[in-house]
């Protein structure tokens, strides 16, 4: 069976079959029926889930459903129901449409599901659509399948938003009674929010999945990419040059790929120039300036300290800086409130007691550079 929107093959994809097998094996052994994975943005979660894990799950005889809730922030319910019915395509889509009172022949009787898929989301998006009914129907269809289902919910922290609480509760209840047959991976970029989702007794997914860091790409990925690049380049790079660039780009796969692309296009300028160009472009977005200017002075001061690795935010020196930045006296509460606001907006994540970090390393670098130049 074909995955509906399988990404086109990419020679630059560094495959991680063992990692995929590891997750599937744990599900197979019934050690768990749900896992939560977190890593910062641009670290390779989505690429792994779509290009490694889902194809491996298909090979293991799973039905697979994938949805990225970040792209569907306002209606995660529609996105999830659509993903689940895609897993059952074409019958799933038909069944859900029938349930909604829109028999499929009105849409398109052919099995060309790609065409009907947009229609399903449009039908579900209608103000009067019976989404709860649609969810029940698609689950009923899934219950009839022989194959188990792997459901991958990317950027799952969206479900933690208060406005989605009803749907999150309904989903949890539905998944709860199907643990044997439906395995779930929650992935997300906001560790703080994911933690709250699974650790707070009042949250729908309380205690539901073990949360663990997503294993990051490292030396093997760099070696793979440099080797492939060298097979096409006139001026080859050494592994050491590749590693240096990877480090300088804060071990961020997305930025490293941009470096490689830049180097390939401007080889005579050399790797140092390509690295400088990449750093300048990834760490100097207008986007960051906009985000920055929306923060108040106390929040900016806290971000600056965190970006510089100053961790004792409640100490005298830090409070002095906070006071200087805001022009008012600062107490431990000033710092605590700033940290709470920054966490709520996903700028900052709490790693442990008193241990905070800026979520997006590119933003952190931008903040550091800003200080150097001002």
Ligand X SMILES: Nc1ncnc2c1ncn2[C@@H]1O[C@H](COP(=O)(O)OP(=O)(O)O)[C@@H](O)[C@H]1O
C-alpha 51/C-alpha 239 separation (Å) is: 25
Strands 348-352 and 355-358, by their bridges, are antiparallel
**Phi, then psi, of 184 in degrees rounded to 5:** -125, 135
Select from 20, 23, 35, 47 the one that contacts ligand X (CB under 6 A).
47
C-alpha 344/C-alpha 339 separation (Å) is: 9
Measured from the CB of residue 161, what is the shortest distance to ligand X in angstroms? 19
Instruction: Tell me if 190 contacts Mg ion by CB under 5 A.
Output: no
Measured from the CB of residue 109, what is the shortest distance to ligand X in angstroms? 37
A 10 A CB-CB count for 277 gives 17
Cα 206–Cα 208–Cα 211 angle in degrees, nearest 5? 95
User: Residues 329, 332, 335, 339: what is their CA dihedral angle, to the nearest 10 degrees?
Assistant: -160
Contact status, residue 314 vs residue 335, Cβ threshold 8 Å: yes
Q: Which stretch binds ligand X (CB under 6 A): 37-45, 234-242, 316-324, 350-358?
A: 37-45
Q: Which of 129/153 has CB closer to Mg ion?
A: 153
Which 242-261 residues touch ligand X, going by CB under 6 A?
Answer: 253-254, 257
Instruction: Tell me if 157 contacts Mg ion by CB under 5 A.
Output: no
Select from 20, 37, 39, 135 the one that contacts ligand X (CB under 6 A).
39
C-alpha 335/C-alpha 356 separation (Å) is: 12
Site string for Mg ion, 39-78 (x = CB under 5 A): ------xx--------------------------------
Residue nearest Mg ion, Cβ-based = 46
Which 341-370 residues touch ligand X, going by CB under 6 A?
Answer: none
| Positions that interact with ligand X (CB under 6 A) | 12-14, 39, 41-48, 217, 253-254, 257
| Positions that interact with Mg ion (CB under 5 A) | 45-46
């Amino acid at each position: 069976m074909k995955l509906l929107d399988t990404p086109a093959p990419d020679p630059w994809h560094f495959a991680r079959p063992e990692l995929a097998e590891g997750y599937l094996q744990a599900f197979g052994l019934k050690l768990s029926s749900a896992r939560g994975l977190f890593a910062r943005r641009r670290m390779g979660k989505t690429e792994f889930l779509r290009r490694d894990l889902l194809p491996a799950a298909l090979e293991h005889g799973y039905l697979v459903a994938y949805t990225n809730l970040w792209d569907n922030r306002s209606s995660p319910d529609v996105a999830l129901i659509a993903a689940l019915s895609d897993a059952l395509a074409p019958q799933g889509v038909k069944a859900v449409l029938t349930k909604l009172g829109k028999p499929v022949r009105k849409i398109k009787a052919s099995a060309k599901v790609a065409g009907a898929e947009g229609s399903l989301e449009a039908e579900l998006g209608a103000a009067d659509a019976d989404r709860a009914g649609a969810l029940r129907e698609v689950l009923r269809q899934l219950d009839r399948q022989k194959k188990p289902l792997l459901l991958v919910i990317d950027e799952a922290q969206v479900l933690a938003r208060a406005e989605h609480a009803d749907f999150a509760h309904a989903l949890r209840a539905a998944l709860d009674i199907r643990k044997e047959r439906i395995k779930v991976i929650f992935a997300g970029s906001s560790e703080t929010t994911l933690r709250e989702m699974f650790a707070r007794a009042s949250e729908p997914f309380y205690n539901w999945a073990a949360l663990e860091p997503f294993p990051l790409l490292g030396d093997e990925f760099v070696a793979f990419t440099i080797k492939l690049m060298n097979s096409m380049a006139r001026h080859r790079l050494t592994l050491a040059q590749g590693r240096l660039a990877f480090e300088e780009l804060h071990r961020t796969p997305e930025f490293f790929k941009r470096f490689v692309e830049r180097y390939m296009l401007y080889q005579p300028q050399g790797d140092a120039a390509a690295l400088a160009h990449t750093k300048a472009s990834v760490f100097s977005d207008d986007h960051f300036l906009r985000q920055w200017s929306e923060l108040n002075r106390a929040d900016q001061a806290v971000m600056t300290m965190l970006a510089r690795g100053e961790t004792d935010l409640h100490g005298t020196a830090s409070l002095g800086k906070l006071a200087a930045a805001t022009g008012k006296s600062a107490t431990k509460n000033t710092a605590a409130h700033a940290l709470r606001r920054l966490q709520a907006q996903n700028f900052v994540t709490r790693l442990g007691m008193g241990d905070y970090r800026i979520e997006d390393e590119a933003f952190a670098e931008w903040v550091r550079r800003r200080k150097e130049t001002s």
